[in-house]
């Protein structure tokens, strides 16, 4: 029976036809799904091209691979490709010219449904690779934005600028004369580049990366910054000084013949008055030469008039102190006030005298006037200062040579300007925003605590030669040997900048926006006032000097260093002469129009 079935050939044609039909269906399914794969390949290529170009532009603006990868994934996600299917990397350009390129790879799975009749595979990957060139690009760190002048950047004399980690860009011409040398990673200009008298403009490490006569060669990387515009709106603001109604007391004249009312507090052998803790309402308090007076704490001391301290020592213990009139100290006297909420009128310390105020908020309804050799120290707390009269009119702080003023951490507001003389030292505490409604004129030494300084006027430094001694630390940084030092600081100013006079400066911008500062911005002015910048042989400035409407001059000094940080100069026009400097891009602050970004493959 079985042999008979094997000899029967009547079903062979039908069997062969069935197998042929399966094959035809399989190949047809394979053709359909190969077509789908090709369509997916085209889609992936389009997404990869878009992501590569976008990532290249983002990298040109930031010079960070993290931004490059994030941009590529974000662009792909907007077109329906998940982040896990995107790989972006910075590579050497396949052109072999030494430049860099951005490579983006998109890989998506194609699920097989019909073609499974021919294969056990459930899917296969469809990949597309795109490479965008960065040739001729790269963020600029020295930018002259003006389009209305003939020359945007001018370098003369012994100027030597090295910016091999970034570019130099100007919307007008770049001109070098008299031996000046500009070296940058790239050079871009809206007009031409000219060199005369032994001067030069070159690029390194890759030669001939100079692009001329291009539109938008220099683009403001901080245009539209809400951090800067927000700080600018605070220029001219200050905190109003608080005052209170106080009772009128009796005069305390502390000399060698005390009246009966305070005779019991007098120790003639020690030349000392000792007042126990309590509440004291005094009209005027005066100490004669050689006298010491102690008001023990905790006490509430209210002086409706003034203090005239020419004695040896005056001390108030802890507790609130209110002095409505002038506080005058002279003749080498000391005045110590404990912790508490304190109010003052004008404060005048002279003649090598020393005044110390403990922790607590302080309002000064007048000015601080420090004479030669005097010292005034405030503990931690909020400080509000008004303005004085006469020689201190419109001023909040006036310091003569060899005087010292120290503020603890806490909010700071000055209704007027601040002026210090050569040989003086001023130390600002840390706070989110130091409000200064006037000029900040430093001719001595200054330490700037962390935070923003909103200066409604000029910021000038003409050092008197005083520097901070060995071992001076500021926010964990050794600033010994510098006269002007600030770590994690941003200055937003309404007037001109003049840092010159042989100043030895160590100023460092914050790396992140917080504590009041603006990330990577050191000094900013958007009004167009002139900037004059002259460094010393050991000056360090880290961050961006941002003056998009200002004519800026860099001069003097043997060298300007950014240390291990970045230095950028963004101005309307830039003139460099008589010195050298180095520049590097500040993270996240490049300009996105930095040359040609194009697809290579």
Instruction: Name every residue whose Cβ is closer than 8 Å to that of residue 351 and which is 6 or more positions away in sequence.
Output: 330, 331, 332, 333, 371, 372, 373, 374
Give pLDDT tens digits for 109-124: 877 655 455 555 556 7
Count CA atoms closer than 13 A to 56's CA, side-chain side. 30
**Nearest CA-CA partner of 342 in 359, 329, 367:** 359
pLDDT: which is higher, 387 or 596: 387
pTM, rounded to two decimals: 0.78
Instruction: Give the integer Cα–Cα distance in Å for 283 and 141.
Output: 61
Instruction: Give the integer Cα–Cα distance in Å for 152 and 551.
Output: 10
Instruction: Give the integer Cα–Cα distance in Å for 342 and 244.
Output: 11
Burial class (CB in 10 A: 0-12, 13-18, 19+), 18: exposed
Give pLDDT tens digits for 349-397: 998 999 999 999 999 999 999 998 999 999 999 999 999 999 999 999 9
pLDDT on residue 149 = 96
Instruction: Name every residue whose Cβ is closer than 8 Å to that of residue 291 and which is 6 or more positions away in sequence.
Output: 254, 255, 256, 271, 272, 273, 311, 312
What does the chain come to in residues? 601
CB 83 within 8 A of CB 160: no
For residues 131, 136, 142, 145, the Cα torsion angle rounded to the nearest 10 degrees is: -100
Residue 347: its H or E element: strand 347-349
- Looking at the predicted structure, is the pLDDT value of residue 106 above 70? yes
pLDDT interval class at 276 (50, 70, 90): very high
Beta strands in 112-172 (DSSP E): 123-133, 140-144, 151-156, 160-170
Question: For all residues of the chain together, what is the average pLDDT?
Answer: 86
| Percent share of the chain, pLDDT over 70 | 84
Structure tokens belonging to residue 292: 């010491």
CB 385 within 8 A of CB 362: no
Give pLDDT tens digits for 295-354: 998 999 999 999 999 999 999 999 999 999 999 999 999 999 999 999 999 999 998 999
**Nearest CA-CA partner of 156 in 502, 558, 546, 574:** 574
CB 350 within 8 A of CB 398: no
Instruction: Give the integer Cα–Cα distance in Å for 40 and 45.
Output: 8
Report helix, strand or coil for 63: coil
């Amino acid at each position: 029976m079985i042999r008979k079935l094997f000899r029967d050939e009547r079903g062979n044609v039908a069997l062969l036809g069935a197998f042929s039909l399966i094959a035809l269906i399989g190949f047809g399914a394979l053709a359909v799904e190969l077509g789908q794969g090709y369509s997916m390949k085209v889609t992936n290529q389009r997404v990869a091209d878009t992501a590569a170009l976008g990532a290249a532009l983002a990298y040109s603006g930031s010079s960070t691979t993290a931004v490059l990868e994030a941009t590529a994934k974000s662009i792909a996600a907007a077109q329906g490709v998940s982040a896990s299917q995107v790989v972006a990397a910075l590579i050497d350009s396949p052109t072999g010219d030494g430049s860099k390129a951005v490579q983006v790879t998109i890989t998506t799975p194609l699920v097989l449904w019909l073609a499974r009749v021919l294969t056990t595979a459930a899917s296969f990957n469809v990949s597309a690779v795109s490479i965008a060139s960065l040739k001729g690009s790269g963020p600029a760190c020295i930018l002259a934005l003006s389009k209305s002048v003939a020359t945007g950047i001018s370098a003369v004399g012994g100027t030597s600028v090295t910016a091999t980690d970034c570019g130099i860009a100007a919307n007008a011409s770049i001109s070098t004369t008299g031996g000046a040398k500009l070296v940058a990673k790239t050079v871009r200009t809206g007009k031409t580049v000219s060199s005369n008298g032994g001067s030069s403009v070159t690029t390194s490490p890759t030669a001939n990366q100079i692009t001329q006569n291009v539109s938008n060669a220099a683009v403001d990387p901080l245009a539209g910054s809400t951090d800067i515009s927000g700080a600018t709106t605070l220029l001219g603001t200050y905190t109003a000084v608080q005052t209170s109604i106080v009772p009128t007391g009796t005069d305390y004249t502390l000399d060698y013949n005390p009246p009966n009312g305070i005779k019991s507090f007098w120790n003639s052998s020690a030349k000392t008055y000792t007042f126990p803790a309590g509440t004291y309402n005094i009209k005027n308090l005066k100490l004669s030469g050689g006298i010491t007076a102690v008001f023990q704490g905790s006490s509430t001391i209210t002086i409706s008039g003034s203090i005239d301290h020419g004695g040896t020592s005056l001390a108030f213990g802890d507790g609130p102190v209110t002095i409505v009139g002038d506080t005058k100290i002279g003749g080498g006297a000391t005045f110590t006030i404990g912790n508490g909420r304190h109010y003052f009128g004008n404060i005048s310390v002279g003649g090598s005298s020393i005044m110390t105020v403990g922790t607590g908020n302080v309002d000064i309804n007048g000015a601080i006037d420090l004479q030669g050799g005097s010292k005034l120290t405030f503990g931690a707390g909020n400080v509000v200062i008004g303005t004085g009269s006469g020689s201190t009119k419109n001023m909040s702080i006036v310091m003569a040579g060899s005087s010292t003023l120290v503020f603890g951490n806490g909010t700071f507001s000055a209704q007027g300007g601040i002026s210090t003389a050569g040989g003086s030292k001023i130390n600002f505490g840390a706070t989110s925003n130091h409000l200064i409604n006037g000029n900040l004129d430093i001719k001595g030494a200054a330490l700037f605590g962390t935070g923003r300084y909103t200066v409604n006027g000029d910021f000038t430094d003409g050092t008197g030669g005083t520097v901070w001694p060995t071992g001076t630390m500021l926010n964990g940084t050794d600033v010994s040997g510098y006269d002007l030092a600030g770590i994690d600081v941003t200055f937003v100013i309404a007037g001109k900048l003049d840092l010159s006079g042989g100043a030895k400066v160590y100023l460092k911008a914050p790396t992140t926006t917080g504590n009041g500062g603006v990330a990577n911005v050191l000094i900013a002015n958007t009004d167009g006032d002139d900037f004059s910048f002259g460094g010393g042989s050991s000056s360090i400035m880290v961050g961006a000097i941002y003056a998009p409407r200002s004519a800026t001059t860099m001069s003097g000094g043997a060298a300007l260093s950014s240390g291990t940080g970045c230095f950028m100069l963004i101005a309307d026009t830039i003139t460099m002469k008589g010195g050298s400097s180095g520049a590097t891009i500040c993270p996240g602050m490049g300009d996105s129009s930095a040359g040609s970004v194009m697809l290579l493959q």
